[in-house]
């Protein structure tokens, strides 16, 4: 049985991962979120523990970290601050496996016009914060996998391709279902994704910036 700590457990991708692992005896899930009532309906599952708290609380993080096999971080906010806390506590707790979700453009690997759009939309300082977070993770001795996602959609499909660090990022869009699928594959085969930073996008979406603008406008 694999013990998995999910930080930011009410996030959209995290909820998809949880749904797929629910009541599966091969996985034990500890779900950390700011308000556990948001996932109260999962309390009846036989492989889930709900913990209310803040990732900035190192004492809480240390307590829930004990005995875990995996940490899956599904966070937004001060990513560098989160990364420092998580890496430090993982190393102190002898927990090795980390899955970290972030956006494309981490290494300026995303071609224009989508690359500039991502930088401008997120904001340069916010993007720099995510880069500092990645550097902290990559400088550690953890068995990490960083997932760099294209523009996320709620499309009910699993269809994706991956690019590695140092390669030009492909595509502009990706479904959250696809990202959740990759997260589960990493949990099941961590050695295959050891210390990798993977770009994820839907094949054939290289020139979809206008479609993304339309989605945002309709939303």
Q: What is the CATH number of the domain that holds 139?
A: 3.40.50.720
Q: In total, how many domains does the chain have?
A: 1
Alpha-carbon distances, residue 219 vs 35, 45, 153, 202, 213 (angstroms) = 26, 33, 11, 21, 10
For residue 61, count other CB atoms closer than 10 A to its CB.
Answer: 24
Binned at pLDDT 50, 70 and 90, residue 219 comes out as low
pTM attached to this predicted model: 0.95
Whole-number pLDDT of residue 135:
98
**Model confidence pLDDT, tens digit, residues 117-131:** 889 888 889 999 999
Instruction: Judge whether residue 85 has pLDDT over 90.
Output: yes
Range of the domain at 120: 2-218
Instruction: Judge whether residue 33 has pLDDT over 90.
Output: yes
CA distance linking residue 61 with residue 65, whole number of Å = 6
């Amino acid at each position: 049985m694999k013990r998995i700590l999910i930080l930011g457990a009410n996030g959209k991708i995290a909820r998809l991962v949880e749904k797929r692992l629910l009541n599966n005896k091969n996985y034990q899930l500890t779900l950390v979120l700011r308000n556990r009532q948001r996932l109260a309906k999962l309390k009846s599952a036989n492989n889930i523990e709900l913990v209310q708290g803040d990732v900035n609380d190192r004492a809480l993080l240390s307590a829930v970290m004990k005995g875990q096999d995996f940490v899956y971080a599904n966070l937004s906010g001060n990513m560098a601050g989160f990364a420092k806390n998580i890496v430090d506590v993982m190393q102190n707790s002898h927990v090795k496996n980390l899955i970290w979700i972030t956006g494309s453009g981490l290494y300026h690997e995303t071609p224009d016009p989508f690359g500039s759009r991502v930088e401008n939309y997120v904001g340069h300082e916010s993007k720099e914060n995510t880069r500092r977070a990645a550097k902290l993770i990559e400088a550690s001795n953890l068995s990490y996998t960083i997932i760099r996602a294209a523009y996320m959609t709620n499309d009910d499909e699993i269809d994706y391709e991956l690019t590695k660090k140092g390669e030009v990022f492909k595509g502009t869009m990706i479904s959250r279902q696809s990202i959740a699928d990759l997260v589960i594959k990493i949990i099941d085969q961590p050695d295959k994704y050891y210390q990798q930073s993977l770009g994820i996008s839907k094949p054939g979406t290289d020139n979809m910036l206008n479609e993304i603008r339309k989605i945002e406008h309709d939303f």
